[in-house]
């Protein structure tokens, strides 16, 4: 009985995260960083940097992106745009995020192909 309950809970937890859904090739969205830090979506306080981006009215929950050491970050506020570090990613910043897959949950979860700070 207990094993059945535990197995059922595990299936519910996995299905709640959803499966990865492809995004249009070369697709990107522009939004605002509403939360920033490690541990927003697993990983704990010593995990990688994560940013929760709100894409406005067309996206109810936004997406939490986990940034890796190799994620290209560009500061497009300068002319020409320059490569930048995670330090340009701050709460309230407007960013363009390129990504290919998103786990359909609320908020969604993904890994960016590239991030550009716009404002």
pLDDT value at 10 more than 80: no
Q: What is the pLDDT of residues 18-55, one digit of tens each?
A: 444 444 545 688 999 999 999 888 778 889 999 999 99
**What was the pLDDT predicted at 73?**
94
**What was the pLDDT predicted at 27?**
67
Pick from 40, 43, 36, 37: which is nearest to 92 by CA? 36
| In the chain, domain spans | 20-117
pLDDT value at 74 more than 60: yes
- Please state, in angstroms and rounded to a whole number, the distance separating the CA atoms of residues 79 and 91: 22
Pick from 93, 117, 104, 79: which is nearest to 16 by CA? 104
Pick from 105, 116, 99: which is nearest to 24 by CA? 99
- Please state, in angstroms and rounded to a whole number, the distance separating the CA atoms of residues 97 and 54: 11
pLDDT value at 2 more than 90: no
As a CATH number, domain 20-117 is 2.40.50
pTM equals: 0.75
Q: Is 72 within 8 Å of 62 (Cβ atoms)?
A: no
- Please state, in angstroms and rounded to a whole number, the distance separating the CA atoms of residues 68 and 50: 9
Residue 119's alpha-carbon distances to 32, 54, 75, 79, 95, in angstroms, are 9, 14, 9, 13, 7
pLDDT value at 15 more than 90: no
Q: What is the mean pLDDT of residues 87-98?
A: 95
- Please state, in angstroms and rounded to a whole number, the distance separating the CA atoms of residues 78 and 68: 24
């Amino acid at each position: 009985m207990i094993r059945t309950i535990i197995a059922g809970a595990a299936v519910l937890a996995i299905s709640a995260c959803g499966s990865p859904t492809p995004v249009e090739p070369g697709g990107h969205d522009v939004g605002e960083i509403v939360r920033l830090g490690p541990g927003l979506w697993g990983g704990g306080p010593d995990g990688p940097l994560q940013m929760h981006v709100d894409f406005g009215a067309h996206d109810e929950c936004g997406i939490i992106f986990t940034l890796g050491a190799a994620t290209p970050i560009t500061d497009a506020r300068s002319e020409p745009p320059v490569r930048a570090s995670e330090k340009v990613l701050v709460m309230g910043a407007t960013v363009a995020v390129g990504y290919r897959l998103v786990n359909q949950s609320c908020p969604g979860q993904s890994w960016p192909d590239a991030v550009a700070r716009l404002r």
